Amino acid sequence: MLKIAVFVSGRGSNLKAILDAKSNNYLNIDVKALVSDKLSCLAVNIAKENNIPVYFVSSILENDEFILYDKLISIFEENAIDLIVLAGFLKKLPEIFVEKFDNKIINIHPALLPSFGGKGMYGMNVHRAVFESSSKISGATVHFVDRIYDNGKIIAQRAVDISDVNSPEEIAERVLKIEHELLPFVIKKIDENKVVNKNGRVVILN
């Protein structure tokens, strides 16, 4: 069973999609930890309702409710975490953390990378930029995390037609639906060891 940790900063609808996929027996996972940089957010409530251990992380010790990344590394090692899933986590991970879990951290981004990514490109900022560009398609991307924002190799993408939308909010709604399918799909493929590197490209085997 794949042992995972999910990182969040907000609403937690992707966390919920992962947990639903587990309840439906689509995913064979054990969510060992929920990590948040916010003391209170909807995602934290979802984790608590599901009896998932919650950790609040920060790069500096703000107060004793937070732990540092060093501590998180030991917790993950003790729990033999196989995969770290960033599902709406807004802080940049420290290099030491990214290096420690090389190829074990994935992120979901609400656009088709490498467009509309990078610093400041999160949440509605992304959908507004997509709307203003007059793009006719958008979508979701799941990629490995490296030291640069939204830069790691792409694992999977799904596109959606947005040629008829009237607002960035409509784009967000269409993309979110896709996210909720794409993220559990990628986690499943990783669990099945079907995400491999071939000729320098990340591919998903059938």
- Residues in contact with ligand GRF by CB under 6 A are 8, 10-14, 43, 87-88, 108-110, 176, 179
CB of 139 within 8 A of CB of 158? Answer: yes
- Our CB check for ligand GRF shows the closer of 11 and 158 to be 11
Measured torsion, CA atoms of residues 98, 31, 22, 11, in degrees rounded to the nearest 10: -70
User: What region does 139 belong to: left with phi over 0, alpha with psi -120 to 50, or beta?
Assistant: left
Q: Which structure tokens are listed for 27?
A: 């995913």
Q: How far is the CB of 122 from ligand GRF (least distance, A)?
A: 6
Question: What is the C-alpha to C-alpha distance for residues 131 and 143, in angstroms, rounded to an integer?
Answer: 23
Which residue number is nearest to ligand GRF in terms of Cβ? Answer: 88
CA angle in degrees (0–180, nearest 5) for 137-106-187: 90
Q: How far is the CB of 206 from ligand GRF (least distance, A)?
A: 26
CB of 157 within 8 A of CB of 139? Answer: yes
- Our CB check for ligand GRF shows the closer of 12 and 152 to be 12
- Our CB check for ligand GRF shows the closer of 45 and 74 to be 45
Q: How far is the CB of 35 from ligand GRF (least distance, A)?
A: 13
The verdict on whether 127 is a catalytic residue reads no
Q: How far is the CB of 139 from ligand GRF (least distance, A)?
A: 11
Q: How far is the CB of 189 from ligand GRF (least distance, A)?
A: 18
- Our CB check for ligand GRF shows the closer of 31 and 199 to be 31
The active-site residue, picked from 109, 127, 143, 180, is 109
Question: What is the C-alpha to C-alpha distance for residues 21 and 123, in angstroms, rounded to an integer?
Answer: 23
- Our CB check for ligand GRF shows the closer of 10 and 152 to be 10
The alpha carbon dihedral of 42, 43, 48, 53 has a sign of: negative
Question: What is the C-alpha to C-alpha distance for residues 178 and 7, in angstroms, rounded to an integer?
Answer: 19
Q: Which residues are catalytic?
A: 109
